[in-house]
Chain A
Amino acid sequence: MTEIPEHLRKRAEEARKKAAGASSASASGGDAPASSSAPAGSAGADAPQSEAASKIPAHLLERAKKARQKASGDDGGDAGATTTATAPAPAAAATAVAAAAPPMAAGPGGHTQRLLTVVKSGSIQDVKATPQDKVHVWPHLLAVEFVAALLCTAFLLIFSVFVNAPLLTLANTNQTPNPRRPPGTSSASRSC
């Protein structure tokens, strides 16, 4: 039932490729400064980045990578200089963003929203592939029901005209109807 439109599928594929490329790059380049020279402050900022790399848009990853490269290039072997080196980083990142416009900004028709995910049909819903042969309840079922009800009523009415419900004599706890004699006087019990 749910065919994914071709352009959406292509776009998702491209995005996935781009994300995969960027995350592998940040995994190799991003771990080094965090483990070797970065102070506690910047390590805290780095760690969640590499952890959630796959979910971060490609252009942000790019930006972070550039900033990190710049920082590690500046401080060289000097661990004490990193605190000053992190200060110009945001400025540099800002220029980088301004220079390279985010790749997601222009979709088909100038749309700015982003495709989050494509859910394949059948993964979360049970889609029936074959349409069922169905008929309208009215008139097909209701007519049958009506005729059945009519026949049933007619039968009951006619039967009730001719056959009466039983109404024996008033209830009498001193007389059992069957056998119609006092207990202990039947021939069956006497023969014992």
Chain B
Amino acid sequence: MPNRPSPAQRLADLNNRVQSSQAWNSIFRPGSIFRKGYTDSPRNRSYVIMNSVLYHLHPVKVKRHAVKVSYTLCLGGLSFFLFILLTVTGIFLMFFYRPTAAQAWNDIYTLQTSVTFGLLVRNMHRWAAHLMVLSVFLHMARVFYHGAYKPPREFNWVIGVILLTLTLLLSFTGYLLPWDQLALWAVTVGTNMMGYTPVFGNQVRFALLGGAEIGTDTLLRWYVLHVLMLPFVIVIFMAIHFWRVRKDGGISGPL
């Protein structure tokens, strides 16, 4: 009995072995605070941001009022986070979905009934999409009521309007994909409205439907828009949006 190490000793041992392993040392490069052990100091607080590619979206320091939840209500950040969640759940859905009129509905049905967590992930994708439209809209309202669209941020407002449009288009293109009665008729109504655009309404409708009426070509077209083109474009505009927030001197001050 006296020879057996205590749990605390074992933990220390394990910690030692992990931190001196090849993998650990190649991930946490020399000089990394996570290698040296984090102690709370202004310098280490700065390093956390500066040494991370993801946190680098942030400056090292922000104005004190900027971290108050009651100012932004986290709405811009949540819009972005929901977009990430949608990407993750969307990739999961892509594994089980084929965008043809003959297969789409069946694939969704099978996903819900025989894929582990299929229904849950589909639900999450659906509700996150609704939530994102809501949070983007509320974020816009927040910016409006703070007057945060005023110079020098007027250009970022324009980027924001593009982001709102792209969010709505993502939502709309996704709506068709289950290929059920709801999808078909909602999109029929939507695209019929496009047909009444003056001058080139019918051409717009034809291009978007990939034919005179909704069919399997429409499904493929909207699928590619939904999973590839629109996300690609929105990511670019989000990058510009975040870059502008910092270029305009961080988020605006309180009124």
Contact = CB atoms under 8 A, between A and B. Distances in A.
Interface of A: 132-142, 144-145, 148-149, 152-153, 156-157, 159-161, 163-173, 175-178
A167 B67 contact: no
A168 B128 CA distance: 20
Contacts of B59: 137
Interface SS of chain B: helix
A22 B101 CA distance: 92
Contact of B120 (A141, A149, A161): A161
Q: Which applies to chain A's interface (DSSP): helix, strand, loop or mixed?
A: mixed
B120 to A, nearest CB: 6
Interface string B176-194: 0011111111000000000
A153 B84 CA distance: 11
A165 B122 contact: yes
Contacts of A153: 85
B242 to A, nearest CB: 13
Given A134-B64, A149-B78, A170-B181, 15 more contacts: A134-B61, A134-B62, A134-B63, A135-B67, A137-B55, A137-B59, A148-B81, A149-B77, A156-B85, A156-B124, A157-B124, A161-B120, A166-B180, A167-B112, A177-B185
Contacts of B42: 136
Nearest to A155: B131
Interface stretch (B14-22, B43-51, B139-147, B228-236): B43-51
B58 interface: yes
Contact of B123 (A139, A152, A160, A169): A160
A190 B67 CA distance: 62
Contacts of A173: 184, 213-214
Contact of B60 (A133, A136, A168, A171): A136
Contact of A138 (B49, B66, B127, B185): B49
Interface of B: 42, 45-46, 48-49, 55, 58-64, 66-67, 69, 74, 77-78, 81-82, 85, 101, 105, 108-109, 112, 119-120, 122-128, 131, 178-185, 213-214
Contact of A148 (B78, B120, B131): B78
B63 A132 contact: yes
Contacts of A160: 120, 123-124, 126-127
A144 to B, nearest CB: 6
A40 to B, nearest CB: 58
A138 B45 contact: yes
B124 A171 contact: no
A159 B125 CA distance: 11
Nearest to B106: A170
B78 A169 contact: no
A178 B69 CA distance: 44
Contact of A136 (B45, B78, B124): B45
Given A134-B63, A135-B64, A137-B59, A152 B78 contact: yes
- Give 6 closest A-B pairs by Cβ, nearest first: A160-B123, A165-B126, A171-B184, A168-B181, A138-B48, A134-B61
Nearest to B61: A134
Contacts of B120: 157, 160-161
B81 A159 contact: no
Quick one: which of A135, A137, A161, A171 has the most chain B CB within 10 A? A171
Contact of A172 (B46, B61, B74, B184): B184
22 contacts: A134-B61, A134-B64, A135-B62, A135-B64, A135-B67, A136-B61, A137-B58, A138-B55, A142-B55, A148-B78, A152-B82, A152-B85, A156-B128, A157-B124, A165-B123, A170-B179, A171-B105, A171-B179, A171-B180, A172-B181, A172-B184, A177-B181
Contacts of B105: 167, 170-171
Nearest to A150: B81
A157 B89 CA distance: 12
Contacts of B112: 167
A167 B46 contact: no
B74 A167 contact: no
